[in-house]
Homo-oligomer: A and B are copies of this chain.
Amino acid sequence: MNSRKGQRIAMLSEALSQHRSLHIRQAAAILGVSEMTVRRDVSACPEQFSFLGGHILPFIAADAESPYEISKAADSHASAKREVCAQALKYIRPDQTIFFDCGTTLPYLIDLLPDDILMTAVCYSLNVAERLARKPNVRLVMLGGLYHPASASFSGSSGLETLDALVIDVAFLSAAGVDGRRGATCAHFHEADIKRKAMSQAQTSVLLIDKSKIGKLKPAFFSDMQSFDAVLTEDGLTDLSA
| A71 neighbours in B (Cβ, 8 Å) | 17-18, 61
Q: Which residue of B lies closest to A60 (CB)?
A: B67
* Chain-B contact segment, one of A151-159, A168-176, A181-189: A151-159
- Tell me the residues in window 58-73 of chain A with beta carbons closer than 8 Å to chain B beta carbons: 58, 60-61, 63, 66-72
Q: Could you mark each residue 47-89 of chain A with 1 if its beta carbon is under 8 Å from any beta carbon of chain B, else 0?
A: 0000011110110110100111111100000000000000000
**Taking the nearest CB of chain B, how far is it from the CB of A57, in angstroms?**
8
**Which single member of B22, B142, B158 contacts A137 (CB below 8 Å)?**
B22
Contacts of A26 in B (CB 8 A): 118, 137
Question: With an 8 A cutoff between CB atoms, is A227 at the interface?
Answer: no
- Does A136 reach chain B (CB closer than 8 Å)? yes
Closest to A131 in B: B63
**Could you tell me the distance in whole angstroms from the C-beta of A51 to the nearest C-beta in chain B?**
8
Interface residue? A21 (CB, 8 A): yes
In the bound complex, residues from chain B placing their C-beta under 8 Å from that of A137 are 19, 21-22, 26
The answer to whether A146 touches B140 (Cβ under 8 A) is yes
Known interface pairs A53-B52, A55-B52; A144-B130 also in contact (CB < 8 Å): no
